[in-house]
Structure 1
Amino acid sequence: MCAQVLMDGPNALSRSLSLYPCLLALSHMSVPHPRSTRLPYLVHMPLLVVFEPHTTQRTALDGDAPSVSLFFFLLRVGVCCLHRKALVSHLRWCTGSVFNRHRQASFQFPLTAVRTHAHTLPPKRHLWLIMSLSVRIRTPKTSTPVQVELNSSGTWGEAATLLSQKSGIALERLRVLAGFPPKAVELSASSPLSALMLRVNDMLIVQEGEARVLLGNTGQRYVPPAPEKAHFTRRRCPADNSCLFHACAYVLHDKSRTEGPQIRQECVKAVLDHPEMFNRNTLGMDPVAYAMWLSGKDSWGGAIELEILSFLYQTEIFALDLQSVSLQHFGTGMGYTVRAFLVYTGNHYDCIAMNPVYNSPSEHEDQTLFNSRDENVLARAKRFVAEEGQKVKEGRSA
């Protein structure tokens, strides 16, 4: 239409006025642009030149304001249509009134750039997805690692449940090692899995043993009641003046036979770090002097060290006398959920554990930690110690 007006001359402008209402409605139809957030610069033209029919002389529309305004109006419609085809937003370009009585041009001179209103896109919305984390697990029943998909945004309790299903190990007996060197995972069930800082294809070692899955919000370990068919057995420790530390390493460090010296040094450090708790009245001497004495490899440990270890590991420690079956307990009344058992003869400490097989020499199946509320286990431990004491009296056991 614009081209026709230009070719037919100014007389055609009057014929186009009848289309003004329709064109006006068309020009005000805005088209949203889904991509662009900013419209380009618009440049106002300083002069409109048309060609008279049958001549090549250029004529300037410099005085007929309605004609000039209508031309720009038609040009505006054409631009809008082109932008509509290109999915560009409606150009808010005001060209002036067609019926401008003062014959003022609708453009500026010299050229100026006018910035149009920028349409603002709606804010970005994050789409939360369940992201899976592929890791490898090694179980006692598989010779090669098994690939498992964990929910990286889930909790440790959810991951432990899945590992229990994949390995065939009951959740209450599930023990998971992660990292390098591998260390037992001790997280509450509500802790995020991201706390382990796992990466793709990391190895998790799944074992069956003492429970390391923490349940609830207390941060305490949960150990299920001991099975009725399991049997207590005595695990002997070296008589090298460090028997108490060897026995505690076995029950507190997952049946370790080598970490007795480390347990001793932990006691030394606790004395120095907590002088208000382990003071002269408790130790019988200055804490620094006691720490120096205890650090010697020939120094015996006793009730004080058991109290310290109970505090450090938040575990009740029960020591049973083989001869009198008398009981010394440490850490009771502190809310600890886990309990361990030692036996002593007056000058030597051993530990006792529960095994599925009677008198089994296989230590890797031992359970060394028990639920502190399981009074049945305590009664069974007392019966076992009484039987062991009787064997010692009869010379059937050392």
Structure 2
Amino acid sequence: MASSLIILQCKSRNGQSRLNHLTREHTVADLIESIAQVTGCNPLCIKILAGFPPKPLDISDRCRNLENLPIKSGDTLIIQEETSQRKENLPKDEEKQLGRKPQGKVNLPNLQNPSGILIRRVVPANNSCLFTSVYFAISGGVYDTKVGDMLRKVIADTVSADKETYCEAFLGKSNKDYCKWILNNNSWGGAIELSILSKYYKVEIVAVDTQNVRLNRFGEDAKYENRIFLIYDGIHYDPLMLEPLDHSHSVQTIFPKTDECVLQMAMEIAQEAKSSRQFTDIQNFSLRCLVCSQCLKGQQEAQQHAKDTGHCNFGEI
């Protein structure tokens, strides 16, 4: 419907903010004015990037409706200021419309490191998202969906070699059964696997929990110099990366532990996702088996169904 809301997240040098009043019938001019109000950016110089990798939106037609832009509700917009753009290049009526002073400006955090914006890099939901995400972050941005088998073997070898630490009480199953389980491509990784990979790569792993608005840190007490970030919605992991505002630089996925600014940005992402309900309640979410169409409730029922039937393809309903 043309009147449906378009909820948008905005990230700029001044921090993060949310637009929750725009509809598909609003215009590009409305969008630019709204962005200027919440970011404090000069509306005459705003440049908007969207998608992945982020690409500039064509906002030259200020009368264009938002339903005709390649954006959808829930998208994150990266806002930049083109300081070289001069307002005398704009028609007088457009200059008057966009030159109004921002009202209702939001108090945004004063980030120490404005060199980029922390964003999610989406990976497939194929039961190996944790492994794909860790490798993407560890490698500095190498996207490889085939690394799951390698990292599963790393974990199985680690567990098998230390039966005292990785005992049945710790694993929830025998050491042997766990090793067999983790090598199965249908098994999901979690806290145990992240703790092992943190030690293996000698890096702190921070899982941004969007359901509980919490940073779960693995390897926090170790004397590792660096950390990586994943975002976790209750069922799926994606890596986080710093998208540079200067596009001549590459993305950053590994951060020094002394950089508290990135921790702050990660917590803001969790808070935003929580407020917009971008998480999955794994105990109560509804699933349908896409093989036999049976309806299931929660992660445990899905895992039991997969064990009983061998069906591993589920869709959330």
- TM-score, normalised with respect to structure 1: 0.39
Structure with bigger RCO (C-alpha 8 Å, 6+ apart): 2
- TM-score, normalised with respect to structure 2: 0.48
User: Which has the greater radius of gyration?
Assistant: 1
